[in-house]
Structure 1
Amino acid sequence: MSRHITSAISQSFGKFANKEFPTWFQKVVNSSYVKLMGLDMSEFHSPSTYKSLNALFTRKLREDRKYSLDSEAFISPCDSLISECGTLQEDYALQIKGMRYSSDELLGEHFSSDEKKSIHDGEFINFYLSPKDYHRYHIPTNLKVLRAVHIPGKLYPVNFPSLRKRLNLFIENERVVLMCENASGKKFYMVLVGALNVGVMQVAFEPKIKTNADAVTSSVYDYKDLYLNKGDDFGCFEMGSTIVILAQKGMLEFKELTGKNVKYGETIANNV
């Protein structure tokens, strides 16, 4: 598979975002971006302290947020808008109202039929991170990572106009799929979906994963004893994008969230 034009555009933007300009000019770039996108910087350092636009995109919280330590509390992994949330119909979830996608196709070819079927008729939730959002993502519950799969692809925008006009957008785009187990041994998947101008999707525990690079074939990483704790920072998007969570039936009891904004650390479901 040859690289798509959207990947080339995103790679070029990434070079600009990573460039460290003279201090005076970088301050202008950063402050202009903050004003243009309406960033709330109250939990972060001053925009002028970031040495590149990408450093501003991937900013860390000055202090971690408080969240429930109750094992049944499943927290939001990120700051985002919930574009859709609900129950899978066999392997079908909603990309947006009226447009479905197959979870089997989203997960790709490096999972067995039984592994894919483990989430049929389960729950799904789509988190859309806009360019103004905090771009880091965190672990939503104590878990064990079983496998990570990097699937190269296109980098179409994942905003609402694009979701409404392009069927199977999540499936066409580059993504990283994490197969996990919660503390009760129930399976769920976290899927990081790339988008236009998302130069990189970082996965802290697997530095071999290089997104929006030159890879044209999928890479698979299996783990035996990789445990992560609720709230752990495990990477970031460089610009806004989407996270999809697909969970085994009966694992999560979601609140009604479609169309609502959530914050990292907010309890969004009961973790059974």
Structure 2
Amino acid sequence: MHITNLISQYFGKFAKKEFPSFIQTAINNTYVKSLGLDMSEFRNPKYYKSLNDLFTRELAIQREIDTNEDSIVSPTDSLITECGNLDKDKLLQIKGMEYNVEELLTYHVSKENLAKVIDGSFMNFYLSPKDYHRYHAPCDFKVTKLIHVPGKLYPVNLKYLNKEIDLFCQNERVILECYDKDSNLFYMVFVGALNVGQMVFEFESAVETNVDTKEIKVYEYDNLNIKKAECLGYFKMGSTIAMIWEKDSIKLKKLTNKKVLFGTVINEK
């Protein structure tokens, strides 16, 4: 097991521990103040029984989401670290650091589907430790496959994105193969990171991340339909989602280095 996985496991044990209420409140308040969390849409920090509860907090005030069926919304509160078009089968983890889409998606994706995303579009969503950690459906879509790829847990902050080659391909990740209402293919790739003890998917409880295994697991679905804005799950700390769309299926807004919220429209309608 890589050292990054061990560190993440130990941190995860601390984060899920429920301390006596007065100690837990102090821990929560320290975390909120030190990172400058905006809790205006959430419960009071004293409500959360562990750091995990605070990390994975649900919205207490529901956001209004654009209901136009042609709009695609950000699945998370995050910084867009890169977006644009693939150069054939290459895309960017950050400017100057490209990687191969097949290495990211693995050989468990069909050659036919890989061909569809050649010269397609992509957008990377980086969640910092201060962000809301739940991820949501960007549109109405159907999930046909989930691929869980064990790996390392390097940090995915800007420093590491600029120095670690093929970081997204080295790190543990969960890949969703999806089709929108027009049967256009897209992928959502959830990338693990240091201190992410788990990535949780509410529709697939069998997925266990950051465990001592090297086996890739594939789950296939015949009739798994997700509604726009539905909660898919959550990171137990900040991390990254990379989205990849088949060629000519979407026109993305130019959002590189911009902050977005879950619900922000990311495409040109």
For residue 152 of structure 1, what is the amino acid of its counterpart? P
In the alignment, the residues of structure 2 paired with residue 66 and residue 13 of structure 1 have an alpha-carbon distance, to the nearest angstrom, of 34
For 2:248 and 2:144, locate their aligned partners in 1 and report how far apart those are by CA, in whole Å: 20
Specify which of 139, 142, 145 is matched with residue 144 of structure 1: 142
**Deviations 1:174-208 (CA, angstroms, capped at 9, x unpaired):** 00000000000010000000000000000111110
Q: Once the two structures are superposed, what CA deviation does each residue of 1:124-144 show, in whole Å capped at 9, x if it has no partner?
A: 000000000000000000000
Q: Give CA deviations for 1:138-177 in whole Å, capped at 9, x if unaligned.
A: 0000000010000000000000000101010000000000
Secondary structure, counterpart of 1:73 in structure 2:
coil
Q: Distance in 1 between matches of 2:117 and 2:219?
A: 21
Match of 2:153?
Answer: 155
SS at match of 2:266: strand
- After superposition, the C-alpha distances for 1:91-123 in whole angstroms (9 at most, x for unaligned) are 111111111011111001211211211111010
- What does residue range 173-184 of structure 1 map to in structure 2 within 5 Å? 173-184=171-182
Deviation above 3 Å: which 4+ runs of structure 1?
none
Question: Which residue does 1:96 correspond to in 2?
Answer: 94
Aligned residue identity for 1:36:
S
In structure 2, what is the equivalent of residue 186 of structure 1?
184
Match of 2:234 among 218, 233, 236: 236
Gaps of 5+ in 1: none
User: What is the aligned-residue identity percentage?
Assistant: 51
Q: Give me the whole-angstrom Cα distance separating, in 2, the residues matched to 1:243 and 1:262.
A: 13
Q: CA RMSD in A?
A: 0.8
- Cα deviation, residue 5, structure 1: 1.3
Question: Structure 1 residue 270: deviation in Å?
Answer: 3.9
* Distance (Å, rounded) in 2 between the aligned partners of 1:215 and 1:264: 32
Partners of 1:72 and 1:270 within 8 A in 2: no
Unaligned ranges ≥5, structure 2: none
Alignment partners' CA distance in 2, 1:145 and 1:216: 24
- Residue matched to 2:57: 59
The answer to whether the 8 A contact 1:149-1:178 is kept is yes
